Chain A
Amino acid sequence: MEPILQIEHLSVYFTQYEHGPRSSAFQKRQLAAVKDLSLEITPGQIVAVVGASGSGKSLLAHSILGILPYNSHMEGKIRYNGETLTEKKARKLRGKEIFLIPQGVTYLDPLMKVGAQLRKGKKDPETKRRCRSALERYGLGADVEELYPFELSGGMARRVLIASAVTEKPRLIIADEPTPGLDARSAKRILSHFRELADEGAGILFITHDLELALSIADEVAVFYAGETIEKAKAEDFGKPENLRHPYTRALWYAMPEHGFRAVGGLQPYAGDDRKGCPYAGQCTACREDCRTEGQIPLVEYRGGEVRCLHPDEMR
């Protein structure tokens, strides 16, 4: 099937004034927050992007929607339905075919009743009917239409946000950390709605820091580390550590509380840091000379997935 979204070699840079002991405050510098990211989503598929906070994954959502902050710019290509997605086009499609389900519930207008927000100003009976059925689908009664956002609980507000996507026919949904602060059970209930939407033919990009949550719903998982995608794997691959390709992904597996809770030493570097070669070199037990001297390690196909590692079999 034709992919609905193709991201090719996307990099996002920030331009900032320096501060700190190393240089003058009048110099600008560029930080690469996302480096060389490629991703494809076909209709009916849920692709999860998993990374620690500060690894630059939210910028991915912002660059697709064309809402990057003023001091950043992107390189690379984003195609929607086979055509290049410009900022202008993204703005036109937003709320019609492409939907963002944001992290905060502050995206709801606090001064507008829920029903009015879902109808987006239209008053014809057809819109009303669709709005009603969208809410019903997520277990929200007609009375919710008459509530203001502050009267909703966190879980309800989140369901309203999802409902706002299905009043139209969504083709691409971008969920940026859609269940923060929800306990596992409520989070899974919300996520099951994503599965339904995918089964109806939408492509879903699910951005999260929670690997376990991602695995419970996604078909494919891209693992983010310090601004780079270091591995792309099928969700099933996480069943056994031997199926995983990158040493970091394997370390993640072993660090899950139910798989031994084992920690490896070292730290994930800050995405903007200057470095050569593999970002994981500092934590990797199988790190070799060439891991540190090369430029950026290329993402290569390997055993049915993709990996950004020079010696993927070293640790098995």
Chain B
Amino acid sequence: MILEAHNLTFYYRNRKKNPIIDSFELTIPPGERVGLKGPSGRGKTTLCRLLAGYERPKQGQVLLDGKPVGEYRGACPVQMVWQHPETVVDPLLKLKETMAEAGGIDKRLVEKLHIEREWMERYPSELSGGELQRFCLARALRPETKILLCDEITAMLDLVTQAQIWEFLLEESRRREMGMLVVSHSEALLEKVCTRIITLD
């Protein structure tokens, strides 16, 4: 599937003169990994939220195979992974239940992401950020997912975990012909991971 953003514009209420995103164009064909860099406060996270359908653009549209991304019912083929994994899992549910809600978890992913069986019985507060981020990736990489948006997903993790996660994601993207948008402030990381880098400013 191809993800396209046309003339994408977004501003908060009453801030029409200072749009966060202004007439942005982007196309992510299958298998391409687009790196996105830019100084802080330029709306990188907002862009990801727009592309994943969390937010509705004020102008322009986000199309997935020609259909607006907000119109997909059920699990969306565009999934976003967030910078802080502890905010995106329900703190009162065991990981087992959170994963069940996302349609169960693939055995292959469990193995590749080094997720241990025993963690499924734990609550989010009993896992480290790196461990939780593995769950979030496993949840986002359900079979329907065709485009993955990664918003600084390893910025809060240590370098070893970062390298592990990207090694896995590269393999996964090649295997599934999955398009990706990679947001990071580390140029070295983007150069290692992406097929193309764009700058937001």
Closest Cβ of chain A: how far from B168's Cβ, in Å?
9
Is the pair A267, B114 in contact by a Cβ cutoff of 8 Å? yes
Is the pair A21, B156 in contact by a Cβ cutoff of 8 Å? no
Q: Does A248 contact B (CB under 8 A)?
A: yes
Q: Does A268 contact B (CB under 8 A)?
A: yes
Is the pair A184, B185 in contact by a Cβ cutoff of 8 Å? yes
Chain B residue numbers with a CB within 8 Å of A150 are none
Is the pair A211, B159 in contact by a Cβ cutoff of 8 Å? yes
Q: Does A81 contact B (CB under 8 A)?
A: no
Q: Does B131 contact A (CB under 8 A)?
A: yes
Closest Cβ of chain B: how far from A222's Cβ, in Å?
14
Instruction: Map CB proximity to B onto A13-32 as digits: 1 under 8 Å, 0 otherwise.
Output: 00000011100000000000
Chain A residue numbers with a CB within 8 Å of B155 are 210
CA distance A12 to B48 in the complex (A): 38
Q: Does B90 contact A (CB under 8 A)?
A: no
Instruction: Map CB proximity to B onto A281-309 as digits: 1 under 8 Å, 0 otherwise.
Output: 00100000000000000000000000000
Q: Does B123 contact A (CB under 8 A)?
A: yes
CA distance A274 to B92 in the complex (A): 23
Closest Cβ of chain A: how far from B14's Cβ, in Å?
14
Chain B residue numbers with a CB within 8 Å of A19 are 123
Closest Cβ of chain B: how far from A272's Cβ, in Å?
7
CA distance A252 to B40 in the complex (A): 26
Interface range on chain A (Cβ under 8 Å from partner): 35 or more
Q: Does A84 contact B (CB under 8 A)?
A: no
Q: Does A52 contact B (CB under 8 A)?
A: yes
Is the pair A53, B160 in contact by a Cβ cutoff of 8 Å? no
Select the stretch in A106-114, A119-127, A130-138, A258-266 that faces chain B: A258-266
Chain B residue numbers with a CB within 8 Å of A55 are 128
Chain B residue numbers with a CB within 8 Å of A21 are 121
Is the pair B40, A181 in contact by a Cβ cutoff of 8 Å? yes
Q: CB-nearest residue of chain B relative to A16? A: B125
Is the pair B163, A261 in contact by a Cβ cutoff of 8 Å? yes
Q: Does B126 contact A (CB under 8 A)?
A: yes
Contact of A186 among B40, B159, B192 (CB under 8 A): B40
Chain A residue numbers with a CB within 8 Å of B38 are 183
Chain A residue numbers with a CB within 8 Å of B167 are 261, 263
Closest Cβ of chain B: how far from A190's Cβ, in Å?
11
Chain A residue numbers with a CB within 8 Å of B162 are 255
CA distance A20 to B127 in the complex (A): 13
Q: Does A185 contact B (CB under 8 A)?
A: yes
Is the pair B188, A52 in contact by a Cβ cutoff of 8 Å? no
Contact of A268 among B123, B130, B163, B187 (CB under 8 A): B130
Residues of chain B having any CB pair with chain A under 8 Å: 37-41, 114, 116, 121-123, 126-131, 155-164, 166-167, 185-189, 191-192
Which 10 residue pairs spanning A and B have beta carbons closest together?
Answer: A257-B188, A263-B163, A53-B129, A52-B158, A54-B128, A255-B163, A255-B159, A263-B164, A53-B156, A258-B188
Can you give 23 contacting A-B residue pairs, CB < 8 Å?
A52-B157, A53-B129, A53-B156, A54-B128, A154-B40, A154-B41, A155-B41, A182-B40, A184-B187, A209-B158, A211-B158, A252-B158, A255-B160, A256-B188, A257-B186, A257-B189, A258-B188, A263-B164, A268-B130, A268-B161, A269-B128, A270-B126, A271-B128
